[in-house]
Structure 1
């Protein structure tokens, strides 16, 4: 049981690294003309599904930017998966689902609240 957990953890870390490289070098979608960070990857126990959590960095980031970025990633999901299959030696390449990771935005909000309480 512990070995299985370690294996899925190692595979999720490797998928995270490979997807980061793919997004930086291989994807040329104009909707993704911003910096994209893969913050984490969660792989199912049978390694058939993966949740990929991403963060977008753009000067003017709003809900529209996030929605367009996620749509672009979901439309290029098959291409990313095929590149993963070439770079990774796995029998089953998981189906990818992209989600927006709002933890950085939440962290900024909390830091702003702390700064406001320090000033008063």
Structure 2
């Protein structure tokens, strides 16, 4: 498979996954979740969804557990919405880039204040 197709499928999964989390999942453990990216392997067999969760570490853990519990439902919904021969296996991981960017922003702000 071409990487271009894998990227297109990843973007479509991201769109559908966001919709499923916002509209279809009713688990109270799921907080405010943003799907930042979906990385799909070249053979379209595996997909990793990168998410950010608003809240503390406990809320992040609960949200990740709820998403893992609903993984079968999510995968079947994606299969219904995106017509592929085989729906990729889904896994979820936290997107650390937001926290990393916030940390860099905080450090730059402190340096700027020290210069004044």
Give secondary structure in 2 for the equivalent of 1:31: coil
How many residue pairs get aligned? The number is 114
Question: Counterpart of 1:109?
Answer: 103
- Establish whether residue 95 from structure 1 lines up as the match of residue 89 from structure 2: yes
Unmatched runs of 5 consecutive residues or more in structure 2: none
Which of 31, 48, 53 matches 2:50? 53
TM-score (norm 1): 0.91
List gaps (5 residues or longer) in structure 1: none
Compute the RMSD of aligned alpha carbons. 1.0
Distance across 1 between alignment mates of 2:47 and 2:65: 17
Q: Secondary structure at the match of 2:29?
A: helix
> How far apart, CA to CA, are the structure 1 residues paired with 2:69 and 2:56?
20
Partner of 1:84: 78
Q: CA deviation at 1:104?
A: 0.9
* Other structure's SS at 1:50 match: strand
CA deviation profile, 1:74-108 (whole Å, cap 9, x unmatched): 01000001111111111110010000111111111
After TM superposition, which residue ranges in structure 1, 4 or more long, deviate above 3 angstroms?
none
Shift of 1:62: 2.1
Report the 3-state secondary structure (helix = DSSP H, G, I; strand = E; otherwise coil) of the residue aligned with 2:65. helix
Q: With structure 2 as the length reference, what TM-score do the two structures score?
A: 0.94
Task: Measure how far apart 1:114 and its partner are.
Answer: 0.4
The residue aligned with 1:44 is 41
Equivalence for 2:29 = 31
